[in-house]
Amino acid sequence: MKVVHLVGARPNFVKLAPLIGKLHPLKEVLVHSGQHYDYTMDKVFFDTLGIKEPDYHLGVGSGSHAEQTGKIMVEFERICLKEKPHLVIVYGDCNTTIAGALVAAKLHIPLCHIEAGIRSYDREMPEEINRVLTDHCSDYLFAPTMTAVKNLEQEGITKNVFNVGDIMFETYLEFMEQASASTVIERLGLSKKEFYLATLHRPSNVDFKEKLERVFRAMSQLDKPVVLPLHPRTRKRVELHKVDTGGVRLIEPQPYIDMIALEKSARLIITDSGGVQKEAYYAKTPCIVLRTTTEWPELLGNGAVLLGEDYEALGEEVVELLSQSFTFDKLFFGDGNTSNKIAKILKSKLLS
């Protein structure tokens, strides 16, 4: 029997790494859509995480949501018709995810969704549409938290729903020791707990010149230096709008191990990323989220706070958050054994 994994973006690779190779005796085929194609967002993750070379690379590149999703669907359908898999596995909530889900559903191939059930309840986010539709197409839904399970139940999805914990937490634990040995702090001339780490890529924050200028101005006025690994999408907007990035230190997107080392060493994290919110919690680093909603409500009051677009209040929020004490000891995301649980369930379902 044959299983196809479909990935395409940096967060997918982090979720894929612990699971691929664990479904033996099922044959595993890896398909990369090419949604992320910049070396710093793509190949370096395969190298760092020890993921095998994809069996197929669709090379779709960038484009509008419709263009990118449509291209992936056309190319992925051809592969499914050729390979005739017994299961398609998709990860997270990017355009690759929904494209794979729709292809599998239309071809009547059973579909598995890793990281099912998370919801921000913000339909302005493309990812929210992707994750909701993917869940409603899926035959096996692996939820990272009890909140996710309850979200699915509220939408009438209860069959083959499994709370297995967060697979990204497993990846973090696996590479934590290597991150401790990373020299990225020294290479960047930083001191532990003497800088703030930021990430920024959501359209709501970066697509408008006025907003970008406000957020960079706010970060430049903080009491510690801000280090920002610059997402290619954000870099394009900064260059297009000729945005003054002020005193924010811009660096290239970091390999996974160096990134989690930075997250652990930062005094505080400022982000609009769903994955970085979780990694901040794993790293026991307080986190300010530049969004009005989050798909990880467990984190609110447990080291994380939503700031929305009130960028001018960033300095006050930093002071307020750092005045509090957090234990970061609640096991929201499972025990770090997610991939083995998923593999056991899928093999029992497919091989029985």
Q: How many domains does the chain have?
A: 2
What pLDDT score was predicted for residue 77? 98
* pLDDT given at position 43: 79
Residues 180-237: tens digit of each pLDDT? 999 999 999 999 999 999 999 999 999 999 999 999 999 999 999 999 999 988 999 9
| Structural domain contains residue 80 | yes
Is pTM beyond 0.75 here? yes
Same domain, 145 and 17: yes
**Domain-located, residue 328:** no
Phi-psi region of 64 (alpha: psi -120 to 50; beta: other; left: phi over 0): beta
Helix (H/G/I), strand (E/B), else coil: 205? helix
Q: Is residue 29 part of a domain?
A: yes
44 and 15 belong to one structural domain: yes
Q: Where are the beta strands (DSSP E) in 159-267?
A: 161-163, 196-198, 226-229, 249-251
Shared-domain flag, residues 12 and 130: yes
pLDDT string in tens for the chain (352-residue length): 999 999 999 899 999 999 999 999 999 999 999 986 665 556 788 889 999 999 999 988 888 899 999 999 999 999 999 999 999 999 999 999 999 999 999 999 999 999 999 999 999 999 999 999 999 999 999 999 999 999 999 999 999 999 999 999 999 999 999 999 999 999 999 999 999 999 999 999 999 999 999 999 999 999 999 999 999 889 999 999 999 999 999 999 999 999 999 999 999 999 999 999 999 999 999 999 999 999 999 999 999 999 999 999 999 999 999 999 999 999 999 999 999 999 999 999 999 8
Distances (CA, A) of 240 to 49, 199, 244, 249: 33, 19, 11, 19
In a domain, 329, yes or no: no
Do 294 and 252 have their domain in common? yes
CATH (domain of 191): 3.40.50.2000
Residues 162 and 183 in one domain: no
Q: What's the pLDDT score for residue 39?
A: 53
Same domain, 134 and 249: no
Give me the pLDDT at residue 157, please.
98
> What is the Cα–Cα distance from 186 to 261, expressed in whole angstroms?
11
Q: Which domain holds residue 67?
A: 2-166+334-351
Q: What confidence tens digit (pLDDT) does each residue in 117-138 have? A: 999 999 999 999 999 999 999 9
| Selection from 138, 31, 12 nearest residue 83 by Cα | 31
Q: At what angle do helices 167-180 and 274-282 cross, to 10 degrees?
A: 60
Q: Residue 97: its pLDDT value, please? A: 98
**Whether 24 and 154 share a structural domain:** yes
Q: What is the pLDDT of residue 73?
A: 97
Which residue in the block uniquely carries the two structure tokens 């999408």?
A: 233
Instruction: List the catalytic residue out of 5, 32, 36, 201.
Output: 201
Report the C-alpha dihedral over residues 39, 41, 47, 51, rounded to 10 degrees: -130
Are 216 and 135 in the same domain?
Answer: no
201 is catalytic: yes
Within this chain, do residues 13 and 71 fall inside the same structural domain, yes or no?
yes
Residues 161 and 34 in one domain: yes
Residue 7 inside a domain? The answer is: yes
Q: Are residues 185 and 284 in the same domain?
A: yes
* Spatial distance between the Cα atoms of 295 and 283, rounded to a whole number of angstroms: 19
Contact present, 290 and 200 (Cβ < 8 Å): yes
Same domain? 126 vs 228: no
